[in-house]
Amino acid sequence: MMLNSLNAFDKSSLKKTVTKVTTLTGDQFVEYKNEQGLTERKTVEKNGKVAGFVVDPCADLQIGEISPDLILGSQDVAVELNLLQKYNVTHILNVATFVNNTFPEHFTYKNIDLLDIPETNIAEHFESAFQFINSGKNSGGCVLVHCNAGISRSATIVIAYLMKTECWCLDKAYQYVKEKRSKIRPNAGFQVQLKTFEQQLKDQGLINK
């Protein structure tokens, strides 16, 4: 019965999904795939009207060098072999959606598929992400943490990692990462989770700076 259902399955019958994102400034946009498979965003204006635009196709190759063994970037960095080798990358933590691991023969990967929406529970993945980052650093290499834009999900992971390993408060960790990659902007839900994580570390006596 199940096999027959699978054989009869037509992916065109699937309902198209739309991701709604709210920025720190309160602006909102929805993201979806068009008929050509390209990602499109439509900003939601306050008067209810919607303005559409195609995502900027220009590659974002800016590296946020957190330390010699930890870097932060977008999905574009993750497909630039020469750039990855320049930074001695050995491990790649991929917290993006719809982004394949391009060089499995060159790097050790870990995937955590997360949507960049406030409702996503990113904090439940902190410890597994930290363990992977530590394994890469302890191997003598360098770890790239990336999502799609290198702005919200990957930045949240790196900020939380610094809070835990450097015993830093949220504000110090956030400002440090922002100095390294100015465009970071964890979504509102992730900010709340980082604040909760900060309180947990304080309760454990692990934040002293």
Cβ–Cβ under 8 Å, residues 55 and 43: no
- pLDDT of res. 40: 59
Beta strand segments in 7-166, E: 19-22, 28-33, 39-44, 50-54, 64-67, 70-73, 89-94, 108-111, 142-146
Quote the DSSP letter at residue 125. Answer: G
Q: How far, in Å, CA of 26 to CA of 10, rounded?
A: 38
- pLDDT of res. 177: 98
Helix (H, G, I), strand (E, B) or coil at 202: helix
Give the up-direction half-sphere exposure of residue 204: CA atoms within 13 A in the CB hemisphere.
Answer: 12
Dihedral in degrees, nearest 10, Cα atoms 148, 150, 156, 159: 150
- pLDDT of res. 73: 96
Looking only at the bridges linking them, the beta strands covering 142-146 and 89-94 are parallel
Long-range contacts of 82-87 (CB under 8 A, 24+ apart): 84/144, 87/63, 87/142, 87/144
Q: How far, in Å, CA of 178 to CA of 193, rounded?
A: 18
Q: How far, in Å, CA of 67 to CA of 136, rounded?
A: 13
**How many residues can be counted in the chain?**
209
- pLDDT of res. 195: 97
Kindly list the averaged pLDDT for each block of 10 residues, start to end, along the chain of length 209: 47 49 53 55 51 57 96 95 96 94 96 95 98 96 96 97 97 97 96 97 86
Domains in the chain, CATH or no CATH each: 12-54 (no CATH), 64-203 (3.90.190.10)
Q: Which residues are catalytic?
A: 147
- pLDDT of res. 118: 95
